Structure 1
Amino acid sequence: MLLLAQAPPPSLAANYSPSPERALRLRSKSSSRAVIGTASAASKPAAAASSRAGHQRKQVASVANPLVKHCVKLRLSAAYRRSCRRLLLVGLAPILEMCRFELDAIDFLLLLDGVEVPEVLREFSGDVVFVSAAVMKKVSGMQSVDSTEAIAVLHMPRYFCDLGSHEDGDSLHGLFNHPKRILVLDGIQDPGNLGTLIRSACAFKWDGVFLLPACCDPFNEKALRAARGASLQLPIVSGTWHDLHALMTKYDMKMMAGHPESSSDASKGIHSLSKELADSLLNESLCLVLGSEGNGLSSETLQACELVNIPMEGGASFFPPLFPGKFEYSHPREVMAPG
């Protein structure tokens, strides 16, 4: 039985490739090529291009190189990432995982000197930049490069919309076409938790994720690692309660929030999740709000949403809506998982 899952938008499903071995037809944008060109001219020794494996091969040895500064800023600044529409991904395994879902995602690839281009990336047609250990440490923010042989600069997913920047509410229509299930995150600050929730929403085939203020950036390096590619598949919108209310009104969506029954800050009754409640929501369009790790739900969420919890033995209550089977409940898989 289906409570919290719907098929993903057709445009997303069409971009999914289940095989990591599929040839990667990756392209670079002119703006990033300009950055690399500047970096190459500034590096010492001078950048050397090679036609080996069909790549434009360059070398960067100095941590003062403009390319290095650009990459470090991408790692550290969410505002810079959004202004450039670029993000940084550290580590070969996460890079290959991302490439399964977005074949054109890589802007350019940084490899540690002496490392061969991985077989699965041999058809990558963009720039490969070979960097010194000092540069790799600077860009990655790690003290050792033993497990860091590759870093990629990726295009920010076209399914990401920041309503607090240059975007407007009309752009939501292109991301959400009569959505049935949207996960709303209210002040989630741990990037690992945020990435895991995005990955779980994707696994349950939700239509998207809406980030309320005080959430950490979904393209933080730790969030990207935890999402394991889901950040490139699922529409993610960052906005305010005003924006969310407009979305809810437009698509006539019901608002519910996970909340422990024992909490003293609940100003109204809390429903316990049951098969009857799940059945009643089966054909409803639903926004489900989860609160922050420390503070729980915001006052706006408490006022706007119906509250629901999952009772547990011993009188406790918990609401892990994306993790069926990890708590005692009579019908967890019927209620929570896709049918």
Structure 2
Amino acid sequence: MLLLARAPPLPPPLAASYPATPERALRFRSISSSRAAVATASAAAKPAASSRSGQKRKQVASVANPLVKHCVKLRLSAAYRRSCRRLLLVGLAPILEMCRFELDAIDYLLLLDGVEVPEELREFCGDVVYVSAAVMKKVSGMQSVDSTEAIAVMHMPRHFRDLGSHEDGDSLHGLFNHPKRILVLDGIQDPGNLGTLIRSACAFKWDGVFLLPASCDPFNEKALRAARGASLQLPVVTGTWHDLHELMTKYNMKMMAGHPESSGDASKGIQSLSKELADSLLNESLCLVLGSEGNGLSSETLQACELVNIPMEGKSILSHNSQAIWI
């Protein structure tokens, strides 16, 4: 794996405007239906006594409650998550990591009966829902609730774009402001790997992550846990090679892809990573593509990108002025 680090400022997320087309009207009707489901789930929780910190407290004991069904569907269905623009965070540790960035993004905080609101979440002003052990197991998908005392339903990040949807389809160019480094993931299917790559891109101050088709959903529970909050900090875009080509052309970005020298693909030359190559790229705008765990790079990537392999001598190549290549 190859990351070329810079430190450009992250662009602020911009609101998108949507033309009034019949197709978009259909999309909005679908979104309205999903929002109605969210509203129904909200109304289904029974009110309980207010907490001393001022949160609205509710109680859910039945696994048949609409809020429980809504949460389970958020955990299991990427399409439902995107239609509702909501995601599910299971476990107190990932909730606290996410809330360092967007505390107000929480719709509901589900707590196991008898658990107090954590000190770090005292400022949370949304709904606190106390649930039975049976409900916690159902929502979390886990057999034991010993280590699962909290679940949060959160808004998706404002800077997430799904270019295959009518809602987000024409909002790509408002997301990036002259990006210098974009990490492109070509069919990454393991959610843990995907979350780790998003976290790495964020750590190296890249401008965003672009997910090509066949990549897993970045808001999968395991992907969120592995990203450790990076999914809320970094723009994440899902789209096709056509969308990526538009981005590359608009910002005059160079396309490179990590590719093993031993692959036997002699159709085009493969450069070896070196300090000289890294230094030559410092002032270039770059899209770096990494392929899937099993199949490697797609044919589209092989045709569109310059290929580079990473020598496996176990050495890191560092350049000057805090610019680095991480292996």
TM over 0.5, shorter chain = yes
State the match for 2:28 in structure 1.
none
CA deviation after TM superposition for structure 1 residue 205, in Å = 0.3
Q: Which residue of 2 aligns with 1:34?
A: 39
What RMSD in Å do the two structures reach over aligned CA positions?
A: 2.1
Q: Please state if 1:336 is matched with 2:324.
A: yes
Structure 1 residue runs of 5 or longer lacking an equivalent are 13-29, 41-45, 314-326
CA contact 2:109–2:153 (8 Å) conserved in 1: yes
Query: Partner of 1:131 in structure 2?
Result: 131
Question: Is the alpha carbon distance of 1:133 and 1:169 closer, same or farther for their aligned partners in structure 2, counting shifts above 3 Å?
Answer: closer
Instruction: Tell me which residue corresponds to 1:8.
Output: 9
- Is residue 162–residue 169 contact of structure 2 (8 Å, CA) maintained in 1? no
Q: Give the whole-Å Cα distance in 2 for the aligned partners of 1:259 and 1:121.
A: 44
For the residue of structure 2 that corresponds to 1:110, the secondary structure is: strand
Distance in structure 2 (CA, Å) of the matches to 1:182 and 1:240: 15
Aligned to 1:173: 173
Whichever residue aligns with residue 315 of structure 2, its letter is: E
Mapping of 1:299-310 within 5 angstroms? 299-310=299-310
- Post-superposition shift, 1:52? 3.2
1:1-339 map, 5 Å: 3-11=4-12, 34-40=39-45, 46-168=46-168, 170-313=170-313, 327-331=314-318, 336-337=324-325
- TM-score, with structure 1 as normaliser: 0.84
Equivalent position amino acid for 1:263 in 2:
S
For 2:101 and 2:36, locate their aligned partners in 1 and report how far apart those are by CA, in whole Å.
23
In the TM superposition, what whole-angstrom CA distance separates every residue of 1:34-80 from its partner, at most 9, and x where no partner exists?
A: 3344322xxxxx54242532111110000000000000000000000
Aligned counterparts of 2:278 and 2:100: Cα–Cα separation in 1: 34
CA distance in 2, matches of 1:330, 1:205: 18
Q: CA deviation at 1:337?
A: 4.9
CA shift in 2, pair 1:95/1:6, >3 Å: same
Verify the 8 A CA contact 2:38 2:84 in the aligned structure 1: no
TM-score (norm 2): 0.87
Which 5+ residue runs of structure 2 have no aligned equivalent?
A: 14-34
Change in Cα spacing, 1:33 to 1:172, as seen in structure 2 (3 Å) is: closer
Asked whether the 8 Å contact 2:104–2:124 carries over to 1, the reply is: no
Q: Which moved more, 1:130-139 or 1:272-281?
A: 272-281
Once residues 312 and 254 of structure 1 are traced to their aligned partners in structure 2, the CA distance between those partners, rounded to angstroms, is 24
How many residues are treated as equivalent by the alignment?
302
Contact 1:210 1:237 in 2 (8 A): yes
Is the 8 Å Cα contact of residues 32 and 107 (structure 1) preserved in structure 2?
no
Name the CA shift for 1:75/1:180 in 2 (closer, same or farther; >3 Å).
same
User: Cα 1:266–1:169, aligned 2, differ >3 Å: closer, same or farther?
Assistant: farther
What amino acid is the match of 1:244? L
Q: Secondary structure at the match of 2:189?
A: coil
CA contact (8 A) 2:112 2:133 kept: yes
Other structure's SS at 2:172 match: helix
The superposition leaves residues 114-157 of structure 1 with CA deviations (integer Å, 9 ceiling, x where unpaired) of 00111111121110000000000000000000000000001000
1:322 corresponding residue in structure 2? none
SS of the equivalent of 1:58 reads: strand
Query: For the Cα contact (< 8 Å) 2:91–2:150, is it kept in 1?
Result: yes
Task: Return the alpha-carbon distance in structure 2 between the equivalents of residues 6 and 275 of structure 1.
Answer: 19
Q: Distance in 2 between matches of 1:93 and 1:116?
A: 15
- TM-superposed deviation, 1:167: 3.8
User: Does the Cα contact within 8 Å between 1:98 and 1:228 map onto a contact in 2?
Assistant: yes
Q: Judge conservation of contact 1:3–1:279 (CA < 8 Å) in 2.
A: no
SS of residue matched to 1:171 = coil
C-alpha deviation, 1:332, in angstroms: 7.2
* Residue range with higher mean Cα deviation, 83-92 or 276-285: 276-285
Contact 2:7–2:206 (8 Å) recurs in 1: yes
Deviation at 1:169, TM superposition (A): 5.2
Q: 1:262 to 1:33 in 2, by over 3 A?
A: closer
